[in-house]
Amino acid sequence: MNSNRIELEKFRKFQGPLIDVRSPGEYYKGNLPNSINIPLFDNEERSIIGTLYKNFGREKAVIKGLEFVENKIENIVNNIIEALNLYKSNNNSKLDETTIKIYCARGGMRSFSISWLLEKYNLKNITLKGGYKTYRKWTLDSFNEDWEIVVIGGKTGTGKTKLLKLLDENNYQIIDLERLACHRGSTFGGLGMKKQPSNEQFENLIAEELNNFRKNKKIFVEAESANIGKCKIPHEFFRQMRSAERIEIFKSESNRLEELIKTYSIYEEQDLIDAVIRIKKRLGPQRTKIAIESIKKKDWKKVCMSVLEYYDKCYEYEKIGKNKLKKINMTDIFDNQISLKLIKDSMKF
């Protein structure tokens, strides 16, 4: 069986487990989504090999690498076989229909070595030509393409995320940037969310979403600032968001307060207090004091009213997509089909 180095477009089409053999540090920084990290070297070993290569050349680096791998071979193969069996089980795949897909940083020694090893076990596999570096280029290139973006805007508590979900359920193309960033974009945005991905991985996740879309159809996104927590929206994609068509959602203050209470009253007292303290300079001492006291008393309406004025002022500076503005008043509208019709009627599809 010969090892095959496959171009990215063809590589993606093969069915089988996707194995990243880079170090855990490289993997965390950014990876092909849905890949499994089965590293050839750990972070420290990779650093040692890199130093040897830089100071003494390739031969000494390869020899040290072989020393590191010598006692790992069985575990590496077993982990890959486990990933293969899990993939087949989850996808009802037969062995001859399944290909192990391997990549490293540049499609070099690490992926080639694992591929050679798997061939000795008669395991069908391919490697990604150019490795992760090729994938990153593909990711960044995708943001330079022209996309038909529609931004959904509205003040805090107008239910923009719910509208995105509704559009998704009705087969419209949407990108939930806050879900991908694991953050809602405000001081309270990390509550109840998983750890944020690295910024590089956030970009990879957006690119994967775009890859599933038809170019001639509109893509709905929520109006965001350039940063969502610690993640930054790719510059070229954000530039297109700024000049996109915009749907502005309006709701009454009572509707918005009700939405905020539902969202945030479920969290731990100290987590909410910490979130308020993070913006105490912008809230001012009086509003900060009222908000913290109200959290302790579980007076959720007063809590939300204390911070709503601050967020409404911030909202006045948001400029995303406002050059093509369509306004929709959804006060007291809670029926999904009516909401969907209002959005459809506001746009020319």
- Tens-place pLDDT, residues 166-198: 999 999 999 999 999 999 877 777 787 889 999
**Residue 294: pLDDT band by 50, 70, 90 thresholds?**
very high
- Marked catalytic residue, from 104, 182, 231, 304: 104
Give the least confident one: 192-196, 286-290, 293-297, 344-348.
344-348
Q: Do 220 and 279 lie in a common domain?
A: yes
Q: For 159, left (φ over 0), alpha (ψ -120 to 50), or beta?
A: left
Q: Do 108 and 176 lie in a common domain?
A: no
Q: Do 39 and 95 lie in a common domain?
A: yes
104 carries an active-site annotation: yes
Rounded to whole angstroms, how far apart are CA atoms 291 and 307? Answer: 7
**Residue 96: pLDDT band by 50, 70, 90 thresholds?**
low
What is the reported pTM?
A: 0.90
Rounded to whole angstroms, how far apart are CA atoms 283 and 276? Answer: 8
Residue numbers of the domain that contains 228: 146-346
The sign of the dihedral angle between the CA atoms of 85, 24, 112, 59 is: negative
CATH code of residue 340: 3.40.50
Q: Do 80 and 13 lie in a common domain?
A: yes
Give the least confident one: 26-30, 53-57, 158-162.
53-57
For the record, the structure tokens of 133 come out as: 């570096």
Last residue of a domain, one of 140, 173, 201: 140
Contacts of 242 (CB under 8 A, 6+ apart): 319, 320, 321
**125-128 vs 100-103, strand pairing mode:** parallel
Last residue of a domain, one of 140, 162, 180: 140
Rounded to whole angstroms, how far apart are CA atoms 187 and 169? Answer: 29
Q: Do 160 and 248 lie in a common domain?
A: yes
Q: Which residues pair with 328 in a beta bridge?
A: 249
Q: Do 155 and 99 lie in a common domain?
A: no
**Residue 349: pLDDT band by 50, 70, 90 thresholds?**
very low
Q: Do 173 and 248 lie in a common domain?
A: yes
Rounded to whole angstroms, how far apart are CA atoms 292 and 270? Answer: 10
Q: Do 135 and 150 lie in a common domain?
A: no
Q: Do 12 and 156 lie in a common domain?
A: no
How many independent structural domains does the chain possess? 2
Contacts of 183 (CB under 8 A, 6+ apart): 189, 190, 193, 196, 228, 229, 230, 231
CATH code of residue 21: 3.40.250.10
Q: Do 321 and 191 lie in a common domain?
A: yes
Q: Do 132 and 224 lie in a common domain?
A: no
Q: Do 127 and 154 lie in a common domain?
A: no
How confident is the prediction for the chain on average, in pLDDT?
A: 90
Largest CA distance in the chain: 73
Last residue of a domain, one of 85, 107, 140: 140
